[in-house]
Amino acid sequence: MPQLHWEDFTPGRIFEHGPRRLPRDEMIAFAAEFDPQPMHLDEAAAQQSMLGGLAASGWYACCILMRMIVDAFVGNSASMGAPGVDEVRWLLPIRPDDELTLRATVLETRASKSRIDMGFVRFEFELFNASGERVMILITSLMLARRERAAS
């Protein structure tokens, strides 16, 4: 049974996870399947791009972030998914074999008006590279079951 319900996500609460390494071959295989642009596939082409060298697809960073939040707390929560994503900013290139660390901060919470068994938790998710630089932020709300309702 999941341990974390909507009531547990109080504003200011922080979850951390990682580091997680992004192997070069996995980063390139992802780009080949989902985002086959030269700056994500080819070192020489990437050197000529704004990224200044081979860098992960931003979507790969999103997917790694999702997996890290599942491992950090979502997998142990009464998660009901999410209605979308409010904002993503890719701040710095993510390089092959870099190691990323996640920080998830609860910004605010609110009960659902239409469903008494759930509530929304708005998060800021941040990814940092091995040098401690912030490489990405993602802001959105997750839906979580409420404890009282789940127990009733």
Judged by CB under 8 A, the residue of 22, 27, 28, 51 near a copy of itself is: 51
Residue 72 in 3-state DSSP?
A: helix
| Residue 23 interacts with a copy of itself (CB under 8 A): yes or no | no
| Residue 82 interacts with a copy of itself (CB under 8 A): yes or no | yes
Tokens of 131: 């040098």
Minimum CB separation from a copy of itself for residue 64, in Å? 7
> Are the CB atoms for 64 and 74 separated by under 8 Å?
no
| Residue 37 interacts with a copy of itself (CB under 8 A): yes or no | yes
How far apart are the C-alpha atoms of 129 and 22, rounded to whole Å?
Answer: 10
What is the CB neighbour count within 10 angstroms for residue 77?
21
Minimum CB separation from a copy of itself for residue 113, in Å? 16
Query: ∠ CA 19-96-49 to the nearest 5 degrees?
Result: 135
Q: How many chain residues are in contact with a copy of itself, going by CB under 8 A? A: 33
| Residue 85 interacts with a copy of itself (CB under 8 A): yes or no | yes
For a copy of itself, which stretch binds (CB under 8 A), given 5-13, 17-25, 50-58, 103-111? 50-58
Residue 63 in 3-state DSSP?
A: helix
Minimum CB separation from a copy of itself for residue 26, in Å? 9
* Binding flags for a copy of itself, 92-131, as an x/- string (CB under 8 A): ----------------------------------------
Residue 47 in 3-state DSSP?
A: helix
Q: What does the radius of gyration of the chain's CA atoms come to, in whole angstroms?
A: 17
Residue 53: φ, ψ to 5°: 150, 165
Query: Which residues lie near a copy of itself (CB under 8 A)?
Result: 33-37, 39, 49-51, 57-59, 62-64, 66-67, 70, 74-75, 79-90, 143
